[in-house]
């Protein structure tokens, strides 16, 4: 009888662990990432594709917000970026210490995944002598994997 109970318990553990294995393989990748302000522009444009190979999905995400004029590299925070309507995904972007960026993507179930770039990936360059002749842009990797946060 104990052997039978042990077998049932083992089968239950295997059945429950199978979906967890699938979720662990559901990577969230980003490609074509860009964020910046063009010279003479008052808009900051952030765009990328969210790729989920396990679900065979590529989801476009983008945001346009007002830009900030600054003599140092600065990207305006994006607290509520949108992905393709109906996809259930959204994102936020913020500049962190040492001119790096942090991109966080979230789904409708509350799962989040984050990428933090290396230092110095937000830069400015000038195309002329006026204050509006400056461009600010993310110059780091355009393809990367997002690190999923552990579920509570």
Dihedral of the alpha carbons of 45, 51, 52, 57, in degrees to the nearest 10? 100
Name the pTM for this structure: 0.80
Domain locations in the chain as residue ranges: 26-148
* Other Cβ atoms within 10 Å of 118 Cβ, number: 11
- Give every CB contact of residue 103 below 8 A, 6+ residues apart in sequence: 30, 33, 48, 91, 92, 93, 114, 115, 116, 146
Q: For 26-148, give the CATH class.
A: mainly beta
Q: What is the pLDDT of residues 99-120, one digit of tens each?
A: 999 999 999 999 999 999 999 9
Model pLDDT for residues 25-74, shown as the tens digit of each residue: 689 999 999 999 988 888 999 999 999 999 999 999 999 998 877 767 88
């Amino acid at each position: 009888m104990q052997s039978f109970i042990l077998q049932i318990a083992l089968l239950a553990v295997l059945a429950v662990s199978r979906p967890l294995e699938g979720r662990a393989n559901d990577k969230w990748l980003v490609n074509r990432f860009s964020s910046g302000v063009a010279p003479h522009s008052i808009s900051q444009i952030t765009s990328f594709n969210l790729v989920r190979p396990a679900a065979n999905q590529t989801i476009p995400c983008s945001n346009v917000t007002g830009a900030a004029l600054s003599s140092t590299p600065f990207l305006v925070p994006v607290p509520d970026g949108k992905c393709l309507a109906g996809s259930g995904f959204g994102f936020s972007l913020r500049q962190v210490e040492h001119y790096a960026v942090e991109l966080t993507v979230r789904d409708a179930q509350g799962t989040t995944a984050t990428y933090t770039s290396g230092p110095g990936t937000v830069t400015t360059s000038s195309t002329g002598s006026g204050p509006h002749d400056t461009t600010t842009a993310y110059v780091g990797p355009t393809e990367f994997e997002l690190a999923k946060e552990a579920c509570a």
